[in-house]
């Protein structure tokens, strides 16, 4: 373990890359084995796998001593939510339109489906934020100095690793256009969440944001009138929605990063 600790300190960026790619690869491996191989229930198994791997990730990060505190605290939570207010406002609007559309179309809201999505997306956020914020961000940060430029480099490098790790979706025969959209979108979101984590030191806020960010599109595709056709049309390229949110992610991150390393 001491050898791993020293390796993480001396080669933090490489360690962060290995951690990010290996974590997603292990996740995919378990999903292929348990869901496709053994035929276990899809969403239940996928949720359980992520929560279990997330718990193991906590133990690993504590053993490697990547940070004195991973961020499971109330301190900084309010600030992290406040920093993301433009997106939460956008999410609230999309959800409102989705539920109105569901009632107008007489489709109604499938509450059991919605609950399953909330639990699953929460497991996704729990696992990925532990890997890419508590793990990757801290590993990269520890390998650099404490200057403001180093905090900016940390956020960018962590976002790149978060983004590129999702290229592993291609192994699962995911559509190339869909994967490209994910890579672009995840770089923006990764940059934004890394910035919030660096600004606040709180991991719960990024987890909440990540979960809501994943739940809202699922609800919109299910209930919002015209979203199915819009989603299908986006398969031929990067959708305008992705580009708009990408610009918002990068713009807000650049604005917030001005104060990282100063009086946060």
pLDDT per residue over 5-45, tens digit each? 888 888 899 999 999 999 999 998 888 888 776 766 678 88
- Express each pLDDT in 186-228 by its tens digit: 999 999 999 999 999 999 999 999 999 999 988 888 877 544 4
pLDDT at 2 over 80: no
Residue 233, pLDDT above cutoff 50? no
pLDDT at 72 over 90: yes
Residue 105 has pLDDT above 80, yes or no: no
Give residue 229's pLDDT. 44
Measured distance CA(141)–CA(154) in Å, rounded: 6
Q: What is the pLDDT of residue 172?
A: 60
Report whether pLDDT(1) > 80. no
3 state SS of 24: helix
* Global confidence as pTM: 0.89
262: confidence class by pLDDT, cuts 50, 70, 90: low
pLDDT tens sequence across 146-197: 888 899 999 999 999 999 998 877 666 567 777 788 888 999 999 999 999 9
N residues, the chain: 264
Instruction: Give pLDDT, residue 209.
Output: 97
Q: Quick one: tokens of 190?
A: 């990764």
The CA-to-CA distance between both ends of the chain, in Å, stands at: 34
Where does 109-203 have alpha helices with state H? 111-129, 138-143, 148-165, 176-200
The whole-number pLDDT of residue 174 equals 64
When pLDDT is averaged across residues 71-91 and rounded to a whole number, the result is 93
- Maximum C-alpha span of the chain: 61
**d(Cα 203, Cα 32) in Å, to the nearest integer?**
29
**How much is the average pLDDT of 121-135?**
97
Phi, psi of 68, deg, nearest 5: -65, -35
Angle at 188 between CA 74 and CA 134, to 5 degrees: 35
pLDDT for the residue 243: 84
pLDDT bin (cut points 50, 70, 90) of residue 103 is low
pLDDT of residue 234: 42
pLDDT at 58 over 60: yes
Alpha-carbon distance of 223 to 210, in angstroms, equals 21
Nearest CA to 211 out of 232, 193, 227, 235 is that of 193
Give percent of the chain above pLDDT 90.
Answer: 53
Closest to 154 in 3D by CA, of 196, 184, 125, 124? 196
For residue 252, count CB atoms less than 10 angstroms from its CB and return exposed for 0-12, middle for 13-18, buried for 19 or more: buried
Q: Which residue has the higher pLDDT, 243 or 125?
A: 125
The reported pLDDT for the residue numbered 261 is 58
Mean pLDDT of the chain: 86
pLDDT of 107? 67
């Amino acid at each position: 373990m001491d050898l791993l600790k020293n390796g993480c300190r001396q080669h933090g960026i490489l360690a962060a890359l290995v951690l990010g790619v290996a974590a997603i690869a292990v996740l995919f491996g378990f999903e292929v084995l348990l869901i496709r191989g053994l035929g276990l229930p899809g969403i239940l198994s996928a949720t359980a796998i992520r929560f279990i791997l997330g718990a193991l990730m906590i133990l690993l990060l504590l053993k490697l001593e990547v940070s004195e505190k991973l961020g499971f605290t109330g301190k900084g939570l309010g600030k992290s939510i406040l920093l993301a207010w433009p997106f939460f406002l956008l999410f609230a609007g999309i959800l409102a339109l989705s539920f109105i559309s569901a009632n107008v179309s007489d489709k109604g809201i499938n509450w059991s489906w919605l609950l399953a999505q909330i639990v699953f997306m929460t497991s996704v956020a729990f696992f990925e934020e532990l890997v890419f914020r508590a793990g990757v961000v801290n590993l990269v940060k520890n390998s650099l100095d404490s200057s403001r430029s180093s905090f900016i480099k940390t956020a960018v490098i962590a976002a790149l690793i978060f983004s590129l790790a999702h290229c592993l979706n291609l192994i699962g025969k995911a559509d190339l256009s869909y994967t490209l959209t994910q890579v672009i979108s995840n770089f923006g979101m990764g940059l934004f969440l890394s910035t919030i984590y660096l600004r606040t030191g709180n991991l719960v806020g990024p987890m909440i944001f990540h979960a809501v960010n994943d739940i809202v599109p699922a609800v919109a595709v299910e209930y919002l009138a015209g979203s199915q056709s819009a989603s299908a049309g986006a398969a031929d390229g990067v959708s305008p929605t992705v580009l708009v949110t990408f610009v918002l992610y990068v713009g807000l991150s650049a604005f917030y990063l001005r104060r990282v390393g100063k009086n946060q």
